[in-house]
Structure 1
Amino acid sequence: MRVWALLLMAGLGVPGPLVAQSGATSAAGQVQLHQQRAHQLLSEKKPELAAKEFAAVLAADPNNLDAEGNLGVLLYFQKDYAGAEPHLRAAIEQQPSLTKIRALLGMCERRLGKTDAARTDLEAVVGDLEDASIRMEVGLQLIEIDSASQDLARAATVVETLRQKAPTDPRVLYAAYRIYTDLAGEALLGLSVAAPEAGQMYQAMAHELVRQRDMNGAITDFRKALAADPHLPGIHYELAEALHASPDLKLRGEAEEQYRLAVAANPADEKAVTRLGDTALDKGDLDGAAERYQQALKLAPHDADALIGMARVSTEKNDPEAALPLLERVVAADASNVQAHYRLSVVYRKLKRPEDAKRELAEYQKYKDLKEKLRKIYKDLRLEEGVAEPDKEGR
């Protein structure tokens, strides 16, 4: 009650009680008196008594916007939803710009089982509410309404609205997780019905196996996808990534050729170009690696993997001064980049900056542990869902 009541009373945007003027009629004077008493009782935190005064105002002046809005608010928080609804609606009809009142009307309608009306009113204001707590409450209620009706696309739109305003709020992130997971499942089911033998079906199955860390199974499905449609966008890069992550050394050795095929199919694929740089670097070809990383950075100047790769080349060439700004750019854009923190610790050691090296090593360990924890949580979730973990060889 406290957050809503205080904000709504102050934010109705309608005139408060008027000061009595000479010549005022007796009826108008009574309206002013009841209105003054109502606001005084609100300031004294006596909402039940204030509600009676606002009702008296409306009895004498049925179009009094201040009384309509405030009485609707007070009745809502007394859980008299049927009584609150007509007052909230009357206030909106008089002044449609009252976004907080309309938000409360939508929540009132939901309590009364008027789902369609509730959705209409909540959708109308969720993007315009400035108060963070009210916007969050309205948005989460909208998501619940849309999810219950299986309108996942609509729910996803609300999630994005909330994420723009509160990107780290756990309630928003959880809602995003649930909605996007359900959307993915819905899309996969639709794909399996519409085109069970299509390359995209095998590609989707491979992605699920990658999520389960079953790389050998994923490779099998990526190959089936490639056989079904050799022109699938990104298929060579995705197959290469699975091959590169395989515990089987023979399969891992096939990754480079797939990266080359990915670049041949799409010369603007900076990810595949970067991976070719990594391959050259692993072979000790520093100049070849630098050429690939520079090519990738021309395509995507902020690509973290290419920046880290170029920093590795500079470090290997004993030029830590050149590596430092590249890694600092990565960390500035993404403080959780584990590899960048580790490489920074190496660079700082070479630059004789032990305290900075120690700090970066601590950051590396912190984010590494966090990612391991998240990986374990995901593993446990998959096991709870009945998904078998792959064995040590990835099967």
Structure 2
Amino acid sequence: MEFSRKVWVGLLLASALGQSVMFSQTADAGHYAEQGQAALASGHLDEAQRNFEQLRSMQPNVAEVHAILGRIYYQERKFNQAAVELKAALKLKPTLPKVHTLLAISLSEMSDYRPAIPGLEDCFQHSAQGAEKQMCGLQLERAYTGLKLDQKAVEVALQMDKLYPDDPEVLYHSSQIYGNMAYQAVRRMNVVAPNSPWRYLAAAEVNESQGATAAAIQQYRQVLEIDPHRPGIHYRIGRTLLAEARRSGAQQEQSEALTEFLAELAIDSTNANAAYEAGEIYRSTSDYPNAEKYFQIAIDCYPDFDDALIGLAAVYLAEEKAQPAVAALRKAISVDPSNEVSWYRLSQAERSLGDAGEQSKAMTEFRRLHQARLSSPSSALQAEQSEVTKQKVDEEAGR
């Protein structure tokens, strides 16, 4: 694990070299200490190793010499030798700062996980230094995974995600841990319940997440063969078909998706997402009466459904009903003031009513939010991960 290796181990050097006066008991010892420290400072590890090995032979009972030599071996990825020196340092002086942590990390790198865990746990839970804490967290994930303590690995990954939400290395290792946990659960499901609808549902979701539309739909339909009235399945089929329709531009798949959303509502009339998607498809084909009907169903099920409110307002605007459009958009803005689409459509509605002042206010807020969104790399990801089709502004609106 490569994270911040040079940065972090520098902490040990700063701590251990505070005792360097102890190296100067003889001229030769002082010479090797000085040369070794200079070599370390310039990044010449081979030379530093030779000098501190000479110093160790001259002063074998100085804990700091073993600690620094262990740090050098660690940086050279000689983890077995690093562990030997770090243990020797701790035997001579158990209070040496950072050495317990570096020993735990070295043991983890050697795949000697069980003795590594106490030191890694202590470091991760109590260290106030970001680089050290992050390194220990990553190594703790590795140790728990290596010992098949998957639940503990997941718990650490969840904490790491909160501490370092934008760190790519943390995100990578978290994805590996979550994926392994999911794989183990599905594998167990295949053994204990090979014909369970839950098995087919899990397989369908995996295929859907990977863009394997046909395979996902096949698995979802197998769930329905076992349990034809299971809520949520027609909606998921419709969602998968809709995603494929967006990729291919095929109207047939959008029509098939609509059929699935309506089938879902026949089973579960309270599925606001299915009603919303039906309304949005009807709106995209200019069938405004049905669009209004299904957007309203979604809002009746979930009054704070901002995308449904925005969609309903778009229908009202298309039907030249500006006043109810303003009411729907004001409600959407009260739910989520940061949604730029609400403000853009509100400016259109206010213009239709001839209120230039309110139109200008809405357009000003839209432009502010639009620029903020363009500057935020996470906004596109959030839209991509949305459970439903997000409302959008006209393409020329942000220009």
> Would the TM-score normalized by the shorter structure come out above 0.5?
yes
Asked whether the equivalents of residues 146 and 154 of structure 1 are also in contact (C-alpha less than 8 Å), the reply is yes
Map of 2:221 onto structure 1: 220
Return the offset for 1:194: 0.6
The one-letter amino acid paired with 1:7 is L
| Separation in structure 1 between the aligned mates of residue 38 and residue 57 of structure 2, nearest angstrom | 18
The partner residue of 1:250 within 245, 259, 263 is 259
| Separation in structure 1 between the aligned mates of residue 27 and residue 63 of structure 2, nearest angstrom | 13
Structure 2 counterparts to residues 50-69 of structure 1, below 5 A: 51=52, 55=56, 58-59=59-60, 62=61, 64-69=62-67
Identity of aligned residues (%): 15
Aligned residues: 327
| Cα distance change, pair 322–243 in 1 and its aligned pair in 2 (3 A) | closer
Structure 2 counterparts to residues 347-362 of structure 1, below 5 A: 347-350=346-349, 351-352=359-360, 353-354=362-363, 356-358=365-367
Matched, 1:309 2:304: no
Asked whether the equivalents of residues 308 and 326 of structure 1 are also in contact (C-alpha less than 8 Å), the reply is no
The one-letter amino acid paired with 1:318 is A
The one-letter amino acid paired with 1:346 is R
Structure 2 counterparts to residues 102-121 of structure 1, below 5 A: 102-110=100-108, 114-121=112-119
The one-letter amino acid paired with 2:261 is R
Provide the aligned C-alpha RMSD in A.
Answer: 4.6
Asked whether the equivalents of residues 312 and 323 of structure 1 are also in contact (C-alpha less than 8 Å), the reply is no
Asked whether the equivalents of residues 349 and 357 of structure 1 are also in contact (C-alpha less than 8 Å), the reply is no
Structure 2 counterparts to residues 1-395 of structure 1, below 5 A: 2-11=6-15, 16=19, 30=25, 38=33, 42=37, 45=41, 47-48=48-49, 51=52, 55=56, 58-59=59-60, 62=61, 64-77=62-75, 81-92=79-90, 100-110=98-108, 114-147=112-145, 151-211=149-209, 212-214=212-214, 216-226=217-227, 235-243=230-238, 246=241, 247=253, 248=256, 249-260=258-269, 263=270, 272-273=271-272, 283-285=291-293, 290-294=299-303, 297=304, 306-312=305-311, 316=316, 317-319=324-326, 320-328=329-337, 331=338, 340-350=339-349, 351-352=359-360, 353-354=362-363, 356-358=365-367, 363=373
Over residues 208-262 of structure 1, what are the superposed CA-to-partner deviations in whole Å (9 max), with x where a residue is unaligned? 34433346424412313535xx7xxxx41344343465431433321212332xx
| Separation in structure 2 between the aligned mates of residue 313 and residue 373 of structure 1, nearest angstrom | 20
Secondary structure, aligned partner of 1:254: helix
| Cα distance change, pair 225–43 in 1 and its aligned pair in 2 (3 A) | farther
Return the offset for 1:35: 7.7
The one-letter amino acid paired with 1:199 is P
The one-letter amino acid paired with 2:344 is S
Secondary structure, aligned partner of 1:236: coil
Return the offset for 1:196: 1.4
Gaps of 5+ in 1: 20-27, 264-271, 298-305, 332-339, 376-395
Return the offset for 1:17: 5.5
Return the offset for 1:10: 2.6
| Separation in structure 2 between the aligned mates of residue 99 and residue 257 of structure 1, nearest angstrom | 66
| Separation in structure 2 between the aligned mates of residue 318 and residue 56 of structure 1, nearest angstrom | 85
Asked whether the equivalents of residues 327 and 344 of structure 1 are also in contact (C-alpha less than 8 Å), the reply is no
Over residues 154-203 of structure 1, what are the superposed CA-to-partner deviations in whole Å (9 max), with x where a residue is unaligned? 44334233222211211222222223223222221211111112232233
Secondary structure, aligned partner of 2:268: helix
| Separation in structure 2 between the aligned mates of residue 110 and residue 244 of structure 1, nearest angstrom | 44
Over residues 32-79 of structure 1, what are the superposed CA-to-partner deviations in whole Å (9 max), with x where a residue is unaligned? 9968984796367374476258637843xx3x5444433432343355
The one-letter amino acid paired with 2:335 is L
Gaps of 5+ in 2: 43-47, 242-252, 281-289, 317-323, 350-358, 386-399
Return the offset for 1:30: 2.5
| Cα distance change, pair 35–238 in 1 and its aligned pair in 2 (3 A) | farther
Secondary structure, aligned partner of 1:251: helix
| Separation in structure 2 between the aligned mates of residue 35 and residue 130 of structure 1, nearest angstrom | 34
Asked whether the equivalents of residues 85 and 109 of structure 1 are also in contact (C-alpha less than 8 Å), the reply is yes
276-285 or 106-115: bigger deviation: 276-285
Return the offset for 1:90: 4.0
| Separation in structure 2 between the aligned mates of residue 18 and residue 74 of structure 1, nearest angstrom | 19
Asked whether the equivalents of residues 333 and 342 of structure 2 are also in contact (C-alpha less than 8 Å), the reply is no
| Separation in structure 1 between the aligned mates of residue 52 and residue 103 of structure 2, nearest angstrom | 17
Asked whether the equivalents of residues 24 and 30 of structure 2 are also in contact (C-alpha less than 8 Å), the reply is no
